[in-house]
Structure 1
Amino acid sequence: MKKIKDNEPVFGLSVKFAEGVDYSDSEGTIIQIELNTRNTSVPMIVTARDSEAKTQGTDGIFALCSEKCGKKMKETVTKELTTFKEFKDISLN
């Protein structure tokens, strides 16, 4: 939930949506995702169907401010089984 300042490093967590989850109407945009286990929502980039990320199996990307934040998000995504199937780290620097 922290704002990432200009010229600061950005970390990423890419996710694959669970079966039946469809955000295709939001491809290429940033949307708010409800995280039920944390009772909050966070922004997520929905990959476009013709993007390199999508062809590599990534459905969404969370931009993160630090590795510590990434660890917390991984734990949360693991619990959000109704929305996400899996995740992997990426670096957006």
Structure 2
Amino acid sequence: MLRCAWCMKKIKDDKPVFGLSVKFADGIDYTESEGTIIQVGLRTRNTSVPMIVTAKGSDAKNEGTDGIFALCSEKCGTKMKSTLTKELSFKEFKDISLG
């Protein structure tokens, strides 16, 4: 079971999962964390949020996605994207549907 990276609500298995995929900025290296979920600190929220680091050789990685934030709704996705844009350095954002 995943948790929404924005509101931290549990996302039940029978509910849709939205995602915000990111491409890391040059110089950012999470190779030791590939295929795991890590915590990313957000200063303005005074908390950390979970991010899935894509695994080497995965479809997502092969399509240029380095990390994915799982979200419970498009509303949470909009808030997450806005905060990440202000706080962290990513090359690119893409809204995705995880099913």
Q: Between Structure 1 and Structure 2, how many residues are aligned?
A: 92
Query: 1:58 is paired with a residue of what secondary structure?
Result: coil
CA contact under 8 A between 1:18 and 1:81: conserved in structure 2?
A: no
| Aligned with 2:47 (options 35, 40, 52) | 40
User: Which residue matches 1:90?
Assistant: 96
Shift of 1:6: 2.5
TM-score using structure 2 length: 0.86
Percent identity (aligned): 79
For 2:29, give the aligned amino acid.
D
Query: Which residues in structure 2 correspond to 1:16-55 (within 5 Å)?
Result: 16-55=23-62
For 2:50, give the aligned amino acid.
P
User: Which residue matches 1:66?
Assistant: 73
CA contact under 8 A between 1:78 and 1:86: conserved in structure 2?
A: no
TM-score using structure 1 length: 0.91
Shift of 1:81: 3.3
4+ residue segments displaced more than 4 Å? none
Query: 1:63 is paired with a residue of what secondary structure?
Result: strand
Q: 2 CA distance for matches of 1:80 and 1:16? A: 15
User: Which residue matches 1:12?
Assistant: 19
What RMSD, in angstroms, separates the aligned Cα atoms of the two structures? Answer: 1.2
Shift of 1:37: 3.1
Shift of 1:38: 2.3
